[in-house]
Amino acid sequence: MQRRYDERLHLMESGVNPYPCQFDVTTFSTDIIEAFRDEEQTPVSVAGRIMTIRKMGKASFFHMQDSKGRIQIYLKKDEVGDAAYSTFKLLDIGDIVGVEGYSFRTKTGEISVHALHFELLSKSLRPIPVAKEKEVEGQKVVYDAFSDKELRYRQRYVDLIVNPEVRDTFIKRSAIVTFMRGFFTGKGWLEVETPILQPIYGGAAARPFTTHHNALDMQLYLRIANELYLKRLIVGGFDGVFEFAKDFRNEGIDRFHNPEFTQVELYVAYKDYNWMMELVEELLYRTALGVNGTHTTSFLGNEISLEPPFRRLTIVDAIKDYCNIDVSGKNESELRSAAKDLGLELDPKIGAGKIIDEIFGEFVEPKLIQPTFITDYPTEMSPLAKEHRSKPGFVERFELIAGGKELCNSFSELNDPVIQRERLEAQAKLRLRGDEEAMVVDEDFLRALEYGMPPCAGLGIGIDRMVMLITGQESIRDVIFFPHLKPE
């Protein structure tokens, strides 16, 4: 690396600015290749990073990588001039250069750029771990790729330079979000922004990150969800609102969980959870088709089809199907002994609804590979959902499971302020008993409901998991640019 620092000085002394201000780019690498005709010499101006170099005496080849891909450049001393050629001879893999010239095809058939003018645009002082590649029977073989996961996550910029499939994943992530945004706004719903710093956190069951506002000398929380704020906006008269939201949960980290993650939440007035299921089917199908060109995806070793309709199953029927147990009408101690028969260890503090959920999570969820709506959860675990119109003790709620993992959560939203208060106060009692994840009573939210919220369907989709599903990545760290790691 010292050598490159010396080289930077040497270049400056010989009158070459290693960091000029701009360069006029007219074309991208892939566009040159696509537009190429053997009869024509199209003038081009491209810029990018040197990824391979083959220096020969008075002529050289190198590959340059820009934001779209790579292209080979051919450089002859008697065409670019002595000065530029000797500058080139000092350059390294990783340096960023600009080339003007014309496209041509080499003896071996590769479409390339024949350089007429060449300049250094940015000197790279740190060696880049570029892997060599070779085509063997049409297959690309990569030698000694930059693969150390820790380094890849800590220095994502290097990962992105060197591993093109990483860049592709993040381009798809952006396409997924863009597609969804267009889908929602196309229906006439409003994209909004609500507070990340919240005096009372709510809308989910999780432990928060805590921070402090100096001027007000008060404790604030990073939001664990934005649900309660979006519902306030439905009270305020919007028919449909959505927000792509970073949420923060102070919990463990694994390949499905990052302390900060992205959710889109959507609330639509006058609709219920049945309507929302159809919307989710349409959304997932069209997003996959729009981004991947196909409705099938390979996720955690399974082929998954996102073609509607998705299977629908109540949580009670699901447990009946997969465990041969009918949990309906059973009281807490009957459920507890049923769970024990299945070999499930349970916390003695949890109630009937939670036991049903534990059985489901342990024995059913991992088996639901193709997208499946699980519906009608016990009321106890869903304090913000509306009581089922015909099943006492259950709420109108669904989760979408795919690949054995939860992707979405949705309900017909509870809009009776009296029942909502009872539910939240019950949560507060659980909290006093030591349940750190139980919800807190939010008086302002209850006040908003007292003014009247129309019937409403709400939805939350985990964007990171959805990107994993659609891009086939197996760790959340591979769909978040800068996943959380302990400091070096």
Q: Is 446 left (phi over 0), alpha (psi -120 to 50) or beta?
A: alpha
- The single residue among 135, 137, 165, 217 that binds RNA, judged by CB under 7 A, is 135
What is the side-by-side order of every strand in the sheet holding 240-248? 190-191, 240-248, 260-269, 456-462, 405-412, 397-402, 372-375, 311-314
* Site residues (CB under 7 A) for RNA, limited to 163-192: none
Which of these segments, 141-149, 212-220, 240-248, 465-473, binds RNA (CB under 7 A)? 141-149
Least gap, CB of 426 to RNA (angstroms): 12
- Which segment (15-23, 69-77, 417-425, 462-470) binds RNA by CB under 7 A? 69-77
Q: Which is nearer to RNA, 170 or 256 (CB)?
A: 256
**485: CB partners within 8 A, 6+ apart:** 150, 153, 154
Q: 119, 419, 437, 472: which one contacts RNA (CB under 7 A)?
A: 437
Q: Is 254 in the site for RNA (CB under 7 A)?
A: yes
Q: Is 367 in the site for RNA (CB under 7 A)?
A: no
Closest CB to RNA among 24 and 78?
78
Radius of gyration of the chain (CA): 29
31 binds RNA (CB under 7 A): no
Residue 131 binds to RNA (criterion: CB under 7 A)? yes
How many chain residues are in contact with RNA, going by CB under 7 A?
67
- Pairwise CA distance, residues 117 & 409, whole Å: 57
Instruction: State which residue, 58 or 187, has the beta carbon closest to RNA.
Output: 58
Strands (E) in 199-282, as ranges, are 210-213, 218-222, 240-248, 260-269
7-44 burial string, b = 16+ CB within 10 Å, else e? Answer: bbeebeeeebebeeeebebebbbebbbeeeeeeeeeeb
Counting contacts by CB under 7 A, is residue 78 touching RNA? yes
Q: Is 149 in the site for RNA (CB under 7 A)?
A: yes
CB atoms inside a 10 Å sphere around CB 2:
7
Binding mask 100-119 for RNA (x = CB under 7 A): ----x-xxxxx-x-x-----
Choosing from 14, 26, 41, 147, the residue that interacts with RNA (CB under 7 A) is 147
Decide: is 204 part of the binding site for RNA (CB under 7 A): yes
Nearest distance from C-beta of residue 54 to RNA, angstroms: 4
The answer to whether 287 and 179 are in contact (CB under 8 A) is yes
Say how many residues make up the chain.
488
Of positions 125, 160, 192, 206, contacts RNA by CB under 7 A = 206
Asked if residue 54 binds RNA (CB under 7 A), the reply is yes
Q: Does 35 bind RNA (CB under 7 A)?
A: no
Decide the pairing of beta strands 111-122 and 70-76: parallel
Work out whether 10 is an interface residue with RNA (CB under 7 A): no
Beta strand extents in 249-287 (DSSP E only) = 260-269
Which one, 266 or 288, has the nearer CB to RNA?
Answer: 266
Taking the least distance from each CB to RNA, the nearer of 79 and 119 is: 79
Buried b (16+ CB within 10 A) or exposed e, 245-280: bebbbeeeeeeeebeebbbbbbbbbebbbeebbebb
**Closest separation between CB of residue 286 and RNA, Å?**
27
User: Which of 266, 223, 214 is closest to 243 using CA atoms?
Assistant: 266
Pick the binder of RNA from 77, 181, 286, 336 (CB under 7 A). Answer: 77
C-alpha 262/C-alpha 478 separation (Å) is: 14
In the complex, which residues of this chain contact RNA (CB under 7 A)? 3, 52-59, 61, 63, 72, 74, 76-78, 92-93, 104, 106-110, 112, 114, 127, 129-135, 143-151, 153, 204-206, 249, 251-252, 254-257, 357, 361, 381-384, 437, 475, 477, 485-488
